[in-house]
């Protein structure tokens, strides 16, 4: 058998390599194409000879390709690459990455060599990933990140001197979602949100930008839309919602929403300002009974009460960024010797102001709740606590009581990060007891149960805080697998003077014992109260008579 020559091998390489090889003259006329390339395009090599290369390019890219090839011919050095679409004989298109080189044969005799690689699959995968990164998986709407980008671009455009037209931002918060989600579970809640998203799509214009920002909150950008028209659109959404009933397993729920709006007219410099003002307008609509639209007006006296919320929002953002929070602790004293020699402490948080003074959580936690910053604060507290305990080297057994927001119960970032921290520190002589208020637990019963069951498997304990306040029910003690019941301090402060308070504390303790849970009495401020709680058999006490909050330190551990 005759061995192939160098020319044979070169010819085979040129003709059959799975790439598109073309030789063009300076007028972009095809002078040569390899067999694989022509067949991939649906032609014979002879059909393409003498045809314009542009006939193989997507018409919208003609100028782009011509300009780039002209630059190659003018420079006549090195390779240039770009991505574009190629067109087959049957009109179908595919993406290619072209590598272009110009060969100068002298006497103005130049040839353009193009090697094209099909990258359609790569482009498809990129488009899928871009879609996923920009889309809320549950509803198919834009997600928060993509929406923020749209709003930032629109905000920047309004700063231009040549800007014309007006736009409106709507912030939409569903009024009944928590009831539906907690009553019927997450599967029902997810179906409800998908239906609402579909309804929103049907009541807006094609060019409008609709997104789910999180949980039951949505946002809508109405480009080139007057305030009057935006008001009609918001009204149509509210009317359509009110006419519907959501049915789930023989239960019917009415539907309504609160909507806040603001005109995007260049009055503010950042997208966050517009979004915060629209959120505040939505907040005011909900405070006024819900099922209504509220337009933001900086001169409206109704918004003056929200000024402190905006102020604290900025301070909290900076505090999270600059770590201006400080951990405090307060001892929880065991009354029974059976509790052993362990240390029990509630972990408290303070915010350090510009003068070094400590701000109590009552000033900033409600704002954190409103702007959904609570999970980030709770995560910082828990991460910092575990890290500092580990680095302290203490070997004494200690139980830390950490307060959690209701929002944190469903926050996946908190769950994932804290779970990993607890697993990696399993050998430490430390236990975390998460505190959840009674009201929060009952309002978020499904999320609370899932959260408790998950972290109990990791060795965590749980306390039901402020028990007896709000709408307490002893029946929930059977449902919620908590370890401690913290008796609301309002029943403890006057326990020595009010026989009804004493009876309530005694009843709570007795029922807790039946369910195998220990009790902690809060707000113990006198020795007489302490003595009475001992007589009632309460397991732990906490309050200023026992210990006052102080900066967290391991010197006394």
User: Tokens 């609509």 appear where?
Assistant: 285
Confidence of residue 305 (pLDDT cuts 50, 70, 90): low
Among left, alpha and beta (phi > 0; psi -120 to 50; other), residue 51 is: beta
Report the alpha-carbon distance of residue 372 to residue 144 in Å, rounded: 13
Which pLDDT belongs to residue 354?
82
Which pLDDT belongs to residue 85?
92
Q: Which of 107-111, 221-225, 318-322 comes out lowest in average pLDDT?
A: 107-111
Which pLDDT belongs to residue 370?
72
Which pLDDT belongs to residue 219?
93
H helix runs in 399-552, sequence order: 412-424, 438-443, 445-456, 475-479, 499-514, 527-536
Model pLDDT for residues 115-150, shown as the tens digit of each residue: 999 988 887 877 766 666 678 888 888 888 888 888
Number of helices (H) and strands (E), helices first, in the chain? 19, 23
User: Tokens 């950008």 appear where?
Assistant: 221
Provide the whole-model pTM.
0.54
Using the CB atoms, write b or e for 500-525: b if 16+ within 10 Å.
Answer: ebbebbbebbebbeeeebbbbbbbbe
pLDDT tops 80 at residue 512: yes
Which pLDDT belongs to residue 471?
42
pLDDT tops 60 at residue 557: no
Report the alpha-carbon distance of residue 307 to residue 363 in Å, rounded: 14
User: Tokens 């409600």 appear where?
Assistant: 366
Model pLDDT for residues 372-411, shown as the tens digit of each residue: 789 999 999 999 999 888 877 667 789 999 999 988 988 8
Of 342 and 47, which is predicted with more confidence?
47
The percent of residues in the chain predicted with pLDDT above 70, rounded, is 89
User: Tokens 């400590």 appear where?
Assistant: 358
278-297 average pLDDT score: 86
Report the alpha-carbon distance of residue 180 to residue 335 in Å, rounded: 42
Confidence of residue 310 (pLDDT cuts 50, 70, 90): low
Which pLDDT belongs to residue 321?
86
342-352 average pLDDT score: 92
User: Tokens 């430490």 appear where?
Assistant: 428
Model pLDDT for residues 65-112, shown as the tens digit of each residue: 998 898 888 887 678 888 999 999 999 999 999 999 998 877 667 899
Report the alpha-carbon distance of residue 378 to residue 384 in Å, rounded: 10
pLDDT tops 70 at residue 324: yes
Q: Which of 5-14, 449-458, 481-490 comes out lowest in average pLDDT?
A: 5-14
Which pLDDT belongs to residue 303?
62
Which pLDDT belongs to residue 153?
87
Which pLDDT belongs to residue 6?
66
Over the chain, what is the mean pLDDT?
A: 85
| 366: CB partners within 8 A, 6+ apart | none
Which pLDDT belongs to residue 235?
92
Which pLDDT belongs to residue 57?
93
368 closest CA partner among 432, 318, 294 = 318
Q: In the beta sheet, which residues pair with residue 358?
A: 352
Q: Alpha carbon of 370 to those of 126, 151, 312, 466: distances in Å?
A: 36, 21, 11, 21
**CB-based contacts of 32-38 (< 8 A; 24+ apart in sequence):** 37/116
Of 510 and 425, which is predicted with more confidence?
510
426-445 average pLDDT score: 80
pLDDT tops 60 at residue 1: no
Q: Which of 8-17, 32-41, 474-483 comes out lowest in average pLDDT?
A: 8-17
Q: At what angle do helices 144-158 and 120-134 cross, to 10 degrees?
A: 90
pLDDT tops 80 at residue 11: no
Confidence of residue 341 (pLDDT cuts 50, 70, 90): low
**Are 26 and 47 in contact, with CB atoms under 8 Å apart?**
no
Model pLDDT for residues 232-242, shown as the tens digit of each residue: 999 999 999 88
């Amino acid at each position: 058998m005759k061995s192939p020559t160098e020319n044979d091998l070169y010819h085979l390489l040129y003709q059959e390599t799975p790439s598109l090889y073309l030789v063009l003259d300076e007028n972009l006329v095809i002078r040569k194409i390899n067999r694989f390339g022509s067949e991939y395009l649906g032609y014979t090599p002879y059909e393409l000879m003498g045809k314009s290369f542009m006939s193989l390019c997507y018409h919208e890219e003609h100028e782009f390709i011509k300009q780039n090839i002209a630059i190659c011919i003018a420079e006549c050095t090195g390779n240039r690459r770009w991505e574009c679409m190629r067109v087959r004989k049957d009109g179908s298109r595919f993406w290619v990455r072209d590598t272009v080189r110009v060969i100068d044969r002298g006497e103005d005799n130049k040839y353009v060599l193009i090697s094209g690689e099909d990258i359609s699959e790569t482009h498809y995968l990129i488009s899928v990933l871009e879609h996923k990164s920009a889309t809320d998986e549950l509803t198919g709407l834009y997600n928060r990140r993509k929406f923020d980008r749209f709003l930032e671009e629109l905000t920047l455009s309004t700063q231009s001197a040549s800007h014309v037209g007006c736009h409106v931002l709507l912030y939409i918060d569903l009024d009944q979602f928590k009831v539906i989600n907690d009553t019927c579970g997450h599967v029902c809640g997810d179906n409800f949100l998908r239906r609402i998203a579909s309804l929103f799509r049907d009541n807006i214009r094609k060019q409008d930008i609709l997104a789910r920002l999180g949980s039951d909150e949505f946002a809508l950008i109405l480009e080139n839309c007057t305030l009057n028209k935006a008001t009609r659109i918001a009204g149509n959404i509210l009317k359509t919602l009110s006419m519907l009933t959501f049915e789930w397993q023989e239960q019917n729920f009415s539907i309504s929403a609160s909507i806040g709006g603001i005109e995007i007219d260049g009055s503010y410099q950042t997208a966050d300002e517009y979004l915060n003002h629209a959120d505040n307008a939505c907040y005011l609509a909900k405070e006024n009974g819900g099922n209504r639209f509220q337009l933001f007006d900086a001169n409206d006296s109704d918004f003056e009460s929200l000024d402190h919320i905006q102020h604290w929002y900025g301070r909290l953002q900076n505090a999270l960024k600059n770590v201006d929070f400080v951990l405090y602790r307060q001892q929880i004293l065991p009354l029974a010797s059976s509790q052993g020699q362990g240390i029990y402490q509630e972990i408290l948080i303070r915010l350090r102001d510009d003068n070094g003074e400590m701000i109590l959580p009552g000033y900033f936690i409600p704002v954190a709740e409103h702007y959904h910053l609570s999970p980030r604060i709770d995560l910082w507290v828990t991460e910092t606590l575990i890290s500092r305990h580990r680095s302290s080297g203490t070997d004494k057994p200690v139980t830390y009581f950490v307060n959690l927001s209701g929002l944190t119960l469903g926050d996946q970032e908190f769950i994932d990060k804290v779970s990993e921290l607890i697993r990696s520190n399993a050998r430490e002589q430390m236990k975390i007891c998460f505190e959840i208020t009674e009201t929060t637990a009952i309002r978020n019963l499904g999320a609370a149960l899932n959260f408790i069951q998950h972290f109990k498997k990791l060795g965590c304990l749980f306390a039901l805080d402020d028990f007896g306040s709000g709408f307490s029910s002893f029946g929930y003690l059977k449902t919620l697998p908590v370890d401690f019941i913290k008796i609301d301090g309002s029943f403890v402060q006057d326990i020595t003077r009010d026989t009804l308070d004493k009876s309530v504390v005694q009843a709570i303790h007795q029922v807790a014992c039946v369910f195998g849970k220990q009790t902690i009495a809060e707000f113990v401020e006198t020795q007489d109260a302490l003595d009475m709680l001992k007589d009632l058999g309460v397991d732990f006490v906490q309050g200023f008579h026992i210990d006052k909050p102080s900066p967290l330190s391991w010197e006394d551990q």
